[in-house]
Structure 1
Amino acid sequence: MSLITEEKIVDADWLICSGCRSLVYRRRFADELHVCPSCGHHDRLSAPDRLAMLLDAGSWRLLESRPAPVFDPLGFADSRPYPERIREAREATGLEEAVLCARGAIQGQPVVAAVMDFRFLGGSLGSATGELITRAAETALAERVPLLLVTASGGARMQEGLFSLMQMAKTSQALAELDEAGILTLTLITDPTYGGVAASFTTLTDIMIAEPGARMGFAGRRVIEQTIGQTLPADFQTAEFLLAHGLIDGIQPRRQQRATLGRLLSLGAPRPPAPPADDEAVVRDPGLLQPREAWAAVRLARELGRPTTLDYAGYMLDGFVELHGDRMSADCPAIVGGVGWLDGMPVMLIGHQKGHGTHELIARNFGRATPEGHRKVARLMRTAAKLGIPIVTLIDTQGAEPGLIAEEHGQAIAIAENLRQMSGLKVPMVAVVTGEGGSGGALALGVADRVLACENAVYSIISPEGCASILWRDAAEAPRAAAALRLDARELLRLGLIDGVVPEPAGGAHTEPARAAAHLRAAIRSALAELVPLDGATLVRDRRARFRRHGAQACP
């Protein structure tokens, strides 16, 4: 089989990259999986070559599909009859349709793959294409293995009229059935992916990654510019544009795709047994904790050297894959999340990300999540719940982002939706306040089965400065307000507002981050050991009862 390229052939040994127009040695181009070594331009691959590149050698077999007569319900003809165009495409590509479906494995993980081929009438979505993709989804459902979609399409196939449009509904329905069955679905977006393909099965999967520079959208650039009379940004609809606007989870160069997909596919593998409990990992008796001045705890909680969520992910988890975006409009940098493995157990880790220096603090908005950030949290939690993966949240924020744009985008609604969703998720949930836990922005990640706090963390309805400004009309009274709010870990445990305290190294987590992470890892393991054996209904019942009792004594 031969790779299909858009590059201009110079001679038998050289070609011109269509991305940067530089000369590329043909053999090196092939060795680089048809990625330009100069500019990184990812050339198109045929469906057979894509399957050979992604799936383990010798593991894959095409799904059975009998060649059918050309489906031409409209008797359509433009400059040539539609059946003639189909026959031409079949002769040119050696394929029966614009998609090739197979069962196989990626790094040993079983998968059903449906790979589109742009050579076949621009990868357009015809009835046969939709039928084959639907059958691939049905195979994944019957065999209970993940489904991988590799997309490349100009959109729906006009020659089949409304029959083509109906394939959008049919394939979307097939994805819904996989959601209901809790089966992992993945999309690898390649260039280009447009129209009805983008507006149906492509964007309905649990995790979407894209090749660098791959374009995806509903309408094409030229159509949009002609319609609105404006010149669009140079990177419009590219993978980089999509990532910045929260529409995909990540970008993966071709060399890294097999490894990333293999890790993600292992989310569908059988779960290992719960880790053993460690009764000494968490302090549950406030009498065992040293009393400390509340304001000193606030200052330690705000120490810029304290480990962040990404730091903890690196220390505690194997194979962490960060996932991005709310799938609506943005990727809030103050919230990070993704999947990783804790002693072989997959978990969804989600947390605030402040940073360690001025530049990162500004870039991360000081850990203040926007409405898009809270919607990103909700999306990742829904994915974890679908796949039966425990959720771990790390809380470190002075509060949610205030301001005009946050209010315009529904900050209060986004937080409220998170609180409601967390109360009903049927998977184990562990929340840990690792630094500051401020107001609704903290609680938006904090409705969990076990709520812990690191020894030098604080958790409060408002910052001490805010409380002092309102009640004492003087921000300088912040230390007084901190003491009155009882916000340090020892007091929180005494009041029954948290379930336990995670020990820290002497002097604080920032003095020995690796040791602090080891303590946190042990605490999370111990909590999951208690929670993983419980069924979903019990988890929800107990979680709701936990929060139901707070303040109940106010009305005897």
Structure 2
Amino acid sequence: MTVAPERPAFLDRPADRPTDWLRCRSCRGFVYRARYEDELRVCPSCGAHGRVEPEPRAAQLLDPGSVAPLPVPAVPDDPLSFATSHGGYAAELDRARARGVDEGVLCVRGTVQGHPLIAAIMDFRFFGGSMGGAVGERLTRAMELALRERTPLLLVTASGGARMQEGALSLMQMAKTSRAMADLDEAGVPTVTLVTDPTYGGVAASFTTLADVILAEPGARMGFAGPRVIEQTIRQRLPEGFQTAEFLLAEGLVDGVVQRSALRPALARLLRMWAARPAERPAGEPDITAPAATATASGAGLLRRAEEVPAGDAWDAVRLARHADRPTTLDYAGYLLEDFQELHGDRMTGDCPAIVGGLGTLDGRTVMLIGHEKGHSTRDRAARNFGMATPAGYRKAARLMRTAAKLRVPVVDLIDTPGAYPGLEAERRGQSIAIAESLRLMSRLPVPVVSVVTGEGGSGGALALGVADRVLALRNSVYSVISPEGCAAILWNDATAAPEAARALKLDARELLRHGIVDAVVPEPPGGAHADPAAARAAARRGCWSRSTRSRGVDPARLVAERGRRFRRFGT
């Protein structure tokens, strides 16, 4: 599909000013041309991002002196001999090339902070960046080169869609490029898309949205059909900001909106993490499926026998597990991980704030961290549904786990939720199906998985992140089929019997270890993790995650089989 996008907010030379001044089409303010270029073509008054041609874009993103164009394949210029009463396609091509642009994409290789990268940068100046045979072939050859060399691929998009003058042959480029992206997925080659304004039609509906990570510049628009087409078709007024990067982020369709000045650091961060993925486990490094060490004399290690866990009241554990100041997933991410890049959205319906996740490095090794997020303040906890995830949250987690499997990096899941969100919209979106699909996916993930109950482990909403090779629990965490209040209301007909129900449910860490629900317990500081968050996070690093996620070279079939046996034994 080809879309004629509306006029974007970029800068143009005003007729009443000298040529060294520009006027922003967004805020109508004036800006000195030299400053505009220094600001990477971003309006200093309103932040509107102007278009950038492929050559300066490559210079902005890649290391100086590292950029080298890839060979240009020869393809038929006018395969349909397309002509109208206004003229022929071949003549239009000649006129476009006479302006100094040979096609709608430039493919290069280079480095970012020394990390190799292959980049395909689309050029809206040439037929609106539309995808014909030449663009599709250049893109596919860049993808094939990335596949052969196992080099990460960057796609910078700017397009109105497929090129009408090449008919169905242009349409076929969608399938060709999508197949090449599938080959990269199968081989575990990382891919990232940078969406720039505009990205529409067949380009958006093929390779653009198939990358592992999708970033977008502020205000960049992406969609299959443009706003005018939609409004004319459905006769409805579209919401403000429809199809902009910010809208796409809120709807769970992109991973992040990044200012142009921050794009190169963000790209470097991803490349560093992707480079920290050794192909196999070095000799002598512990295996995630092997028995873990017992507690150290200082108590900083893992407790593997119930007798080692200090006895306590189950209801006290429930109250400590629910404490508003208890460290959350984002707290642990900020302390434990370097280069953490949060990823957003399920690429389908939304970005549930109750589940967060992303890539980061732990002791120099890349991991995918996923967890429930409650927040601390009343406002933040309410905004995050108190850690109760919607179907979009579980589908976001599943997307990140599939990405981890592709990139062959371990998954660390942090569990802290009263349960899945019990709302009308959640049921409409298939809450039960989303949880069931997560359980099935985790049971077959071909990479190491560690789940840690850091607070509340409530019912199926917790188990959806709990099918792991090793399941650990913080000392004052709880894990149960139902909340004590719910159990008391049903079996005692009295919600005030919750403390008694908590003891009967055997939901505290000591009892969970005794029954084999968890494999080990992580000690907490006196008074609970919230009493000394720094000590709690340090204990977690020393006693659990820094060892549990360093497995490499474990046969995937063995991992899956051992995980299956772990859960098969319950109830026998």
Q: TM-score, normalised by structure 1?
A: 0.96
Residue 388 (structure 1) aligns with: 408
Change in 2 beyond 3 A, CA 1:478/1:318: same
State which of 328, 334, 356 in structure 1 corresponds to 2:354.
334
State which of 227, 245, 253 in structure 2 corresponds to 1:221.
227
Q: Is the 8 A contact 2:342 2:356 kept in 1?
A: yes
Distance in 2 separating the partners of 1:199 and 1:348: 27
Distance in 1 separating the partners of 2:85 and 2:177: 27
Residue 548 (structure 1) aligns with: 568
Distance in 2 separating the partners of 1:73 and 1:28: 46
Question: What is the number of residues matched between the two proteins?
Answer: 547
1:535 aligns with 2:555: yes
Distance in 1 separating the partners of 2:327 and 2:95: 60
Letter in 2 for 1:290: P
1:308 aligns with 2:314: no
Deviations 1:146-203 (A, max 9, x none): 1110000001111111111010011101101111111111100000000000000000
State which of 94, 97, 104 in structure 2 corresponds to 1:90.
97
Residue 32 (structure 1) aligns with: 39
Distance in 1 separating the partners of 2:486 and 2:85: 70
State which of 532, 539, 544 in structure 2 corresponds to 1:519.
539
Residue 163 (structure 1) aligns with: 169
Distance in 2 separating the partners of 1:486 and 1:5: 63
> How far did residue 12 of structure 1 move?
2.8
State which of 50, 55, 63 in structure 2 corresponds to 1:48.
55
Deviations 1:41-75 (A, max 9, x none): 00000011111111111112100115556233243
> How far did residue 546 of structure 1 move?
0.3
Q: Is the 8 A contact 2:367 2:549 kept in 1?
A: no
Letter in 2 for 1:192: P
Residue 436 (structure 2) aligns with: 416
Q: Is the 8 A contact 1:385 1:427 kept in 2?
A: yes
Distance in 1 separating the partners of 2:167 and 2:436: 43
Distance in 2 separating the partners of 1:516 and 1:195: 50
Deviations 1:392-421 (A, max 9, x none): 000000000112111111000000000000
Q: Is the 8 A contact 1:145 1:268 kept in 2?
A: no
Runs of 4+ off more than 4 Å: 66-69, 272-279
1:298 aligns with 2:326: no
Distance in 1 separating the partners of 2:553 and 2:74: 49
Residue 371 (structure 2) aligns with: 351
> How far did residue 289 of structure 1 move?
1.4
Q: Is the 8 A contact 2:11 2:22 kept in 1?
A: no
1:175 aligns with 2:195: no
Distance in 2 separating the partners of 1:384 and 1:332: 19
Distance in 1 separating the partners of 2:547 and 2:414: 16
> How far did residue 270 of structure 1 move?
5.2
SS at match of 1:326: coil
1:261 aligns with 2:267: yes
Q: Is the 8 A contact 1:134 1:171 kept in 2?
A: yes
> How far did residue 532 of structure 1 move?
3.2
Change in 2 beyond 3 A, CA 1:340/1:78: farther
1:239 aligns with 2:245: yes
Letter in 1 for 2:270: L
Letter in 2 for 1:8: R
RMSD: 1.5
Residue 450 (structure 1) aligns with: 470
> How far did residue 527 of structure 1 move?
1.8
Change in 2 beyond 3 A, CA 1:392/1:80: same
Q: How does 1:57-76 map to 2 (within 5 A)?
A: 57-66=64-73, 70-76=77-83
Q: Is the 8 A contact 1:172 1:201 kept in 2?
A: yes
Letter in 1 for 2:547: S
Distance in 1 separating the partners of 2:522 and 2:62: 43
Residue 389 (structure 2) aligns with: 369
Q: Gapped runs of 5+ residues in structure 1? A: none
Letter in 1 for 2:12: E
Distance in 1 separating the partners of 2:520 and 2:207: 44
> How far did residue 6 of structure 1 move?
4.1
Q: Is the 8 A contact 1:279 1:526 kept in 2?
A: no
Q: Is the 8 A contact 1:72 1:83 kept in 2?
A: no
Q: Is the 8 A contact 2:337 2:360 kept in 1?
A: yes
> How far did residue 268 of structure 1 move?
3.2
Distance in 2 separating the partners of 1:173 and 1:127: 15
State which of 114, 120, 129 in structure 2 corresponds to 1:108.
114
> How far did residue 117 of structure 1 move?
0.5
Q: Gapped runs of 5+ residues in structure 2? A: 1-8, 287-291, 296-300
Q: Is the 8 A contact 2:354 2:373 kept in 1?
A: yes
Deviations 1:304-345 (A, max 9, x none): 000010000001000101000000010000000000100110
Letter in 2 for 1:346: T
Q: How does 1:279-294 map to 2 (within 5 A)?
A: 279-280=294-295, 281-294=301-314
Letter in 2 for 1:120: F
Residue 124 (structure 1) aligns with: 130
Residue 482 (structure 1) aligns with: 502
SS at match of 1:161: helix
Distance in 1 separating the partners of 2:553 and 2:462: 27
Q: TM-score, normalised by structure 2?
A: 0.94
State which of 205, 219, 222 in structure 1 corresponds to 2:211.
205
